[in-house]
Amino acid sequence: MNSVISACELSARIKPFYPGLDADMIMRAYDFCQHAHQGQLRSSGAPYYTHPVAVAAILADMHLDPSTIITALLHDVVEDTAVTLEEISTDFSPEIADLVNGVTKLTKVEMQSDNSQAENFRKLVMAMSNDIRVLLVKLADRTHNMQTIFAIESPEKRERIALETLSIFAPLAERIGLSNWQNELEDRAFEVLYPEARQSIASRLEYLTEASKDIIEKIIGELRSYLEVSGVACQVTGRTKTLYSIWRKTQSKNVDMEELSDVMAFRIIVEDEADCYRALGLLHRHYPTVMGRFKDYISTPKRNKYQSLHTALIGPFKKKIEVQIRTEDMHRTAEDGVAAHWRYKTSNAPVNSHEVTRINWINDLVDILERAETPEEFLENTQLEMYSDRVFCFTPKGWLIVLPAEATAIDFAYAVHSDVGNTCVGVRINGKNRQLATKLSNGDQVEILTSPDAIPNAEWEDFMATGRARSALRRFLRLKKEAEFSRLGRALLAKSAREASLEVSDEMLETCLISFNAEGVEHLYALVGEGKIKPIDVLAKIDPDLRPMRKSKTRNKKSTDEEALDIKGLIPGMAVHHGHCCYPLPGERIVGIVTTGKGITVHRVDCSVLEKFNAMPELWLDIEWKREGPTRLTGRLIVVLLNEPGTLASIANLISRHDGNISDINLLGRSSDFFRFQLDVEVKHIRQLNAMLGAMRASKFVESVEREKI
């Protein structure tokens, strides 16, 4: 942490822009602040007075007037100490007392958690409408608090402060043109709320920067050289975009960072407005442009007086870049917004409050505020033009939910809580039933309808606008799928263990997790249930002696199966095989095909494979079953099951009740609503399989079930 600056250092930062500065008043305010907060500590353990001093230093670097700097030094004394506004008015000035009072009111608004956020926002607009410097002090206060936020021990409190910063204070900084403060507030809130995403983007950006070390300087050099040779004097600077702005673009465009190529931005400063358009024309003639990315904020300035030309090019070295073109005056306004009034001020003339505080957009909000009957109506009527890329909506209790533009009702549900999203069954918007895919508008009141038995739909992702909603949905579906397969895998492994006369416990399975790259026992069960690992392979890891026995049993089983084919009309001495194309069962009409080197293969009479033998009648044998075989034969089924909890377990129980046995299972496909499986079921007769099929088709979990046909 940087050491606290002294009163002399603070005065030295102010004096170049205010030569007539009363340094003694700065010193008195500094001492007053230090004495008033004596004995108070911050969360970091530092003396509390270091915070208002840091806020004052931030404002001094913005070249704000001495009254604003003194207000920053005193902004917490009325709220946190016994000092009164009357004392401040007497010891300093009525102007400073009014400013401190305005900041104190804003602080109280923040602390009124019993009010809805719509009401708090209304009060915030009223407080800052009297003097914009109140908001400047509050933004500097929030900036320093975010710089030191990790000194707060409670993660919940850190997240609450960061969310409020991202929802209210960063957009306010943007709205009054303080882009540097906006960027810092967004990035520090981003670090608190989405640390993993931020680190991932930072690592990727570092890699891209390292991969093209000098590319920014080379692009700057080429742009400057080209424009100056063409007769346009200019300054060119370049930078990579902020981590938060890159993240927001990945969210709004629903792309990974690897798909983003325009992570570099360049600024061209020219002498006058005419040169802005000359430079733009030269660049557009020389480099291919990215369609749809040109904006003219010079002829049509933003509400915060921001002016610049924006364009995107396939620039030098075939790099996709964004370019801003502006004059020096436009640049000062873009960097400092309303604070640009004070920059380079060289006299002691008093600040004209009417000149600097009556900002049009605030006046517009106040005018609407005075006509609105409720805070919610105020927020709805303003349409929050200050947040052009966001929508502000409310819960039925009046709590504010901030979402990106194009967000839908399902984004709102997950923004409230992941559990609300996962159990969502419907939505009412402004009292009317609407679809979950409905896009939200500013001021909408959104009521999410939930059911404890509901499960989310994977197709929701198609109309989600927020990464938070997508990640929560994916996580739920992933865990649900793993749980289903884990239950099935546990049953299959227990069955195989019984057949091998083994007792298997979770503790025993932990010894072989590494062999199957399983993260845990439940994951191992899931791999078995999904068919990626055979139960016998797991048992063989636990008991190595089981492997040769398994091979022996397999050979014996094959021999037994062939003997089980007790069929009339066979050629004596020839090997007989159960057709694995149609899996014929006792009780069905069958035919034999003589195959060179393989013996006789038994098929159902409706097997499609028989078509290729139509021209070879000499290979056909007229055969039929003698009786029901002494052992079970396999019937192969294709089953489509609902994607709901308990589905697989229900079908396994149903098969067991009909004296069937699942010998193999294979997942063929999965959608948002259904699983498609290939099931091998051992039965003794076609009657048994047909009864099983009838019961399965009557199950609420089964969409369809058929015998496999090739």
Between the CA of residue 103 and those of 34, 130, 138, 374, what are the distances in Å?
A: 19, 11, 6, 24
Greater pLDDT, 363 or 242: 242
Which of 22, 31, 76, 79 does the annotation list as catalytic? 79
- CB crowding 6-42: b at 16 or more within 10 Å, else e: ebeebbebbeebbeebeeebbebbbebbbebbeeeeb
Sequence letter at residue 444: D
Contact yes or no for 82/172 (Cβ under 8 A) = no
Which of 31, 61, 65, 80 does the annotation list as catalytic? 80
Dihedral angle at the C-alpha atoms of 85, 88, 91, 94, nearest 10 degrees? -80
Residue 485 pLDDT greater than 80, yes or no: no
The side-by-side arrangement of strands in the sheet containing 424-429 is 432-434, 424-429, 446-450
Fold of the CATH domain 1-147:
Hypothetical protein af1432 (1.10.3210)
Q: Look up the CATH superfamily of 370-465.
A: Beta-grasp domain (3.10.20.30)
Measured distance between the N- and C-terminal CA atoms of the chain, rounded to whole angstroms: 72
pLDDT of residue 209: 67
Between the CA of residue 135 and those of 42, 52, 176, 598, what are the distances in Å?
A: 23, 15, 10, 89
Per DSSP, what are the bridge partners of residue 508?
none
680 is catalytic: no
At 346, is the pLDDT very low, low, confident or very high (cuts 50, 70, 90)? very low
What is the domain class of 633-707 according to CATH?
A: alpha beta
159-209 pLDDT tens trace: 989 988 887 788 778 777 778 888 899 999 999 998 888 888 888 777 766
Greater pLDDT, 395 or 339: 395
At 348, is the pLDDT very low, low, confident or very high (cuts 50, 70, 90)? very low
pLDDT of residue 385: 38
At 381, is the pLDDT very low, low, confident or very high (cuts 50, 70, 90)? very low
Which of the given ranges, 38-42, 113-117, 302-306, 705-709, has the highest pLDDT on average? 38-42
**Distance from C-alpha of 350 to C-alpha of 587, rounded to nearest angstrom:** 105
Q: Do domains 1-147 and 633-707 have the same CATH topology?
A: no
79 is catalytic: yes
Q: Domain segments of the chain: what residues?
A: 1-147, 370-465, 478-625, 633-707
250-303 pLDDT tens trace: 766 555 555 455 567 899 999 999 999 999 999 999 999 988 788 888 987 876
Please report which residue ranges of 131-166 form alpha helices under DSSP H.
132-147, 155-164
Contact yes or no for 461/406 (Cβ under 8 A) = no
